[in-house]
Amino acid sequence: MRDNDIAVLAGQVLEHFRSSGRRLLTVESCTGGLISAALSDIPGSSDVLEGGFVTYSNVLKMSAVSVPEAVLLQYGAVSLQTAQAMAQGGLLNALDADVAISVTGIAGPDGGSDAKPVGTVCFGLACRTASPILVQCHFTGDRASIRSQAVQHALQMILSI
């Protein structure tokens, strides 16, 4: 995915949210703030983007967005359960956001296992007016490619609501 393709998607997300009067929050782990960066690169994004959390460590996942330690211990940082808790916790901590997208995964080149290989990425989408949407994907390529694919997928998820 080229940076221009991500910029086009980010612009579509902003227009989609601007037209509905909703605000968005990001809670990112393996993407390290790239979703927020893609959105905030566009002038006028502040009327849609509430902000974002980069919760790379488990400690910050627990303290910043209230991911229960029990979820991390039972399912691990890269799991649908953690992605859901990240999105819901972010939404609870940001009073002006209507939607929160979370992403947690293994971008590599190390850190994968048989159960969760490099390229495993989990997404959570929490909305104040609908049930959460949870998705697990398996991306291929190097670290930069996996992260770029994760950003693209997250933006497409946001557009779906």
pLDDT for position 1: 47
The single residue listed with the structure tokens 């990112």 is 28
**Bridge-based pairing state of the strands 24-28 and 130-138:** unpaired
Flag whether pLDDT at 153 surpasses 50. yes
Among 59, 76, 53, 150, which Cα is nearest to 108's?
150
pLDDT for position 100: 98
Task: Please give the Cα distance from 17 to 118 (Å, whole number).
Answer: 32
Task: Please give the Cα distance from 90 to 121 (Å, whole number).
Answer: 18
The residue ranking higher by pLDDT, 24 or 94, is 24
DSSP single-letter state for residue 66: -
pLDDT for position 2: 64
Percent of the chain at pLDDT above 90?
94
Q: What is the pLDDT of residues 14-66, one digit of tens each?
A: 999 999 999 999 999 999 999 999 999 999 999 999 999 999 999 999 999 99
pLDDT for position 94: 80
Cβ contacts of 45 within 8 Å, gap of 6 or more: 14, 39
For 6-13, what is the mean pLDDT? Answer: 98
pTM above 0.85, yes or no: yes
Task: Please give the Cα distance from 41 to 9 (Å, whole number).
Answer: 12
Task: Please give the Cα distance from 155 to 160 (Å, whole number).
Answer: 9
DSSP assignment string, 109-127: SS---SSS-TTEEEEEEEE
